[in-house]
Structure 1
């Protein structure tokens, strides 16, 4: 028996509405079984993937992870432990093809935790959007602004690298992470301000020109252990959960949920238990991204969710996806559903 839970919500008091209408789209159907995209693929390091993003034009995947301990890079005097890497915000970026085969890598020192990244292709050049300028808090480094830079295989980048185009979208914000909605030309930044997490949605081209005026800015609703986000048109999708054995996550159901937020109203409208990949012995949700299989049909989108598998120190990357959107007349804002499939 497989238990699938959908909770559709209208009572969470989120007060901030969009300053102007966000492009209208339907919500992904998250109650379907997630379909596998890549499974058990090694990255450049053996640490858990943190997040990923798609280059749909060139059919590539970019994945970030905390840099593994024990490595000594050419600009370092000795090997550096994993704990120091985490405190410094050092991450490894791996480039994959769409079958999950490794094509290249970069090292990003002092960038942050890699909670979420974005990809943009302009004039044939692939650019990464990430957090940068990490500040240590607890045992980890977290970004304080966002950066855009081209992928260049085998290189090491720091926050001072001249190729970085930096953007401080909101003064005083930290824990900055980013998603790119290529179809609608939007950039969404998750950030923390005055102790609370929020999401600002910006016109991507205006951001690149230095004009930082959000289209929408909404609070994060209550979630468990946050693991990533993606936005596509009207909806913002939030990933939460833990590996089996942590915070009440028990095989085979676990505690991986996706919450959908309507960016026009600022309200959470759905929360779905995700069963994809539940046969893994180690299964930790990590990262979300939108993929457009055919760039000529940008509205045929897929929502992808990442999971780490296998034992340390050789974690592997997995990605599952959802590709069905709710019907136009779906009454999902006012429904609750509890369904068992036998």
Structure 2
């Protein structure tokens, strides 16, 4: 759940997109359009990955990410027992059956609306927001650090960057297959996304923006719940929590696909996946896979009762 109100962060219109370490206009920094790739079909068959799994804590899953080469899964959560806007997070590592294998604590980072995972050999590096603004509980920069089970990190102990000098509310998404990093951020006119080379970004170089665009309007009044970058497309996830089983007239959980090169939304689908879950709040989106044959677009739900929240993952694997 995003208690700040993602609606406020998505409001407004018209702004100069800034990118790079100096905050130069993105249009002047752009060097190429992204090569054409296939996209996930939003109305394809829903597949269930796991259901009703407890995370470390347990608190509501806000986001998740896969380290594809090492077959690892990580979730981002607000830390139990700390103020919502403190930016204190818990990361859980799970196996693909949903069993917790380890955890980390992040102090003063943000809300974990989106996290990323990057494999470097057998080591997983996690990308998150960091440097929390306690006025809204969101990160003012992004960070990259190696996974270390049982560790507690502070914002001052990690490598971090502010890719857009006048931006705020940063969240990352890692596209492992195509070697790119997406950065979502707020300007006065709304939310924007920049795409960078992952290799350049991990070296701290955000001077070249491969693509940059303002996030298109989704469903008015519905909470934004996650996003993912894969190839030439960005995927968005939105929806509200329900106390019980939704039907078609109640459903708000919607998947969106945005064509970066064309600059338009090209697909959407209102899903009833997991409709029997109690609470059922959409939370998190990520991609797994290193080929078209193995690629999966995952979307998550939090479920359960207060004090015993559970994680649930579903996916699409049809590319068109």
TM-score, normalised to structure 2, is 0.86
Q: Which has the larger radius of gyration?
A: 1
Q: Does 1:251 align with 2:249?
A: no
Contiguous gaps of at least 5 residues in structure 2 = 1-13, 18-26
Contact 2:43/2:268 (<8 A) preserved: no
Q: State the Cα distance separating 1:19 from its structure 2 match.
A: 4.9
Partner of residue 299 from structure 2, selected from 266, 290, 305: 305
Q: Does 1:166 align with 2:160?
A: yes
Contact 1:15/1:266 (<8 A) preserved: no
What count of residue pairs does the alignment treat as equivalent?
291
Q: Does 1:222 align with 2:228?
A: no
Q: Aligned equivalents of 2:15 and 2:287: distance in 1?
A: 25
Correspondences of 1:145-156 after superposition (within 5 Å) = 145-156=141-152
Q: Does 1:279 align with 2:291?
A: no
RMSD: 2.2
Q: Aligned equivalents of 1:306 and 1:19: distance in 2?
A: 34
1:34 matched to which residue of 2?
46
Q: Aligned equivalents of 1:264 and 1:45: distance in 2?
A: 41
SS in 1 for 2:69: coil
Contiguous gaps of at least 5 residues in structure 1 = 1-12, 70-81, 327-342
Q: State the Cα distance separating 1:45 from its structure 2 match.
A: 1.2
Correspondences of 1:98-137 after superposition (within 5 Å) = 98-137=96-135
Contact 2:41/2:267 (<8 A) preserved: no
Q: Does 1:270 align with 2:267?
A: yes
TM-score, normalised to structure 1, is 0.81
Assess, with a 3 A threshold, how the Cα gap between structure 1 residues 33 and 14 changes in structure 2: closer, same or farther: farther
Contact 2:184/2:191 (<8 A) preserved: yes
Q: State the Cα distance separating 1:89 from its structure 2 match.
A: 0.6
Q: Aligned equivalents of 2:44 and 2:178: distance in 1?
A: 25
Q: Aligned equivalents of 2:85 and 2:15: distance in 1?
A: 33
Q: Aligned equivalents of 1:21 and 1:250: distance in 2?
A: 43
Contact 1:43/1:102 (<8 A) preserved: yes
Correspondences of 1:1-342 after superposition (within 5 Å) = 19-69=31-81, 82=82, 84=83, 86-137=84-135, 140-161=136-157, 164-212=158-206, 213-223=208-218, 224-244=222-242, 251-253=246-248, 254-292=251-289, 295=290, 297=291, 300-326=294-320
Q: Aligned equivalents of 1:232 and 1:315: distance in 2?
A: 29
Q: Aligned equivalents of 1:48 and 1:317: distance in 2?
A: 7
SS in 1 for 2:118: strand
